[in-house]
Amino acid sequence: MEFLCMDFINSQWYKTHKIFKDPLKDKNWLKDFCAKWNLADTHIPDKAMINKLLELRDFLSYVTNKLCTKKTLDLKDINKINDYLKASLFYKILEKSEDRFCIKTVPVKSCSDFIIFEIISSFAQMISKYDIDRIKLCENPECRWVFYDESKSHTRKWCDNTCATLIKVRRFRENRKQKK
Ligand SMILES: [Zn+2]
């Protein structure tokens, strides 16, 4: 299960792993991200927009952490999510391309609002339509990748096998050390 909001929150992982810089500040990464999630019509965000995205990621990361540990959110957090949702105004238009009609959602103000709106909507949908107990952070303290646990037993702890192996090996060594 993939969620736009999770993909967005997990972009912070790259700051400390693999590419060691913030993908949100990388125009090519942002372009691919927008294309992947059908936000391709939007302009490449300017500096002000990137700051807004960084702020949004901090906030979503904070509420996801809270959700994973406390299994609920405060009214204050819910209000802030609603402020984000209210800030974006859209209307729908009908378009004709060749022989087909299609409906398009168009932002009243700037196109970059659309990215924020889609990310925050994705988060609101995820926590309202899916099981919040399955939203988890990788138990490797140096990783903390956010994922949706689709295992039957709800017992997945790691983002992937690399983290699982790493932690298992570490625990095994620690246990051996304690026994010595
Ligand atoms: Zn991990």
**Ligand 1 center to 13 CA (angstroms):** 9
CA separation for the pair 108, 91 (Å, rounded): 7
Q: What is the structure's pLDDT at 40?
A: 63
| Per-residue pLDDT tens digits for 61-75 | 999 999 999 999 999
**Ligand 1 center to 56 CA (angstroms):** 22
Confidence band (pLDDT; 50, 70, 90) for 56?
very high
Structure tokens at 168: 């298992």
Q: What is the structure's pLDDT at 172?
A: 81
Q: What is the structure's pLDDT at 21?
A: 87
**Ligand 1 center to 149 CA (angstroms):** 13
* Ligand 1 (single-atom ion) residues, CB below 5 Å: 138, 140, 143, 145, 159, 163
**Ligand 1 center to 87 CA (angstroms):** 34
Q: What is the structure's pLDDT at 41?
A: 56
CA separation for the pair 73, 66 (Å, rounded): 7
Note whether 157 and 138 are within 8 A (CB).
yes
**Ligand 1 center to 23 CA (angstroms):** 18
Each domain of the chain, given as residue ranges in start order, spans: 4-179
**Ligand 1 center to 122 CA (angstroms):** 22
CA separation for the pair 64, 80 (Å, rounded): 14
User: What is the number of other CB atoms lying within 10 angstroms of the CB of residue 112?
Assistant: 20
**Ligand 1 center to 36 CA (angstroms):** 22
| Per-residue pLDDT tens digits for 109-167 | 766 678 898 999 999 999 999 999 999 999 999 999 999 999 999 999 999 888 988 88
What percent of the chain has a predicted confidence (pLDDT) above 90?
53
In the CATH scheme, what is the code of domain 4-179?
1.10.3300.10
Q: What is the structure's pLDDT at 90?
A: 83
Q: What is the structure's pLDDT at 115?
A: 87
CA separation for the pair 87, 68 (Å, rounded): 27
* Coil, helix or strand at residue 151: coil
Q: Does residue 42 carry a pLDDT above 60?
A: no
CA separation for the pair 81, 92 (Å, rounded): 23
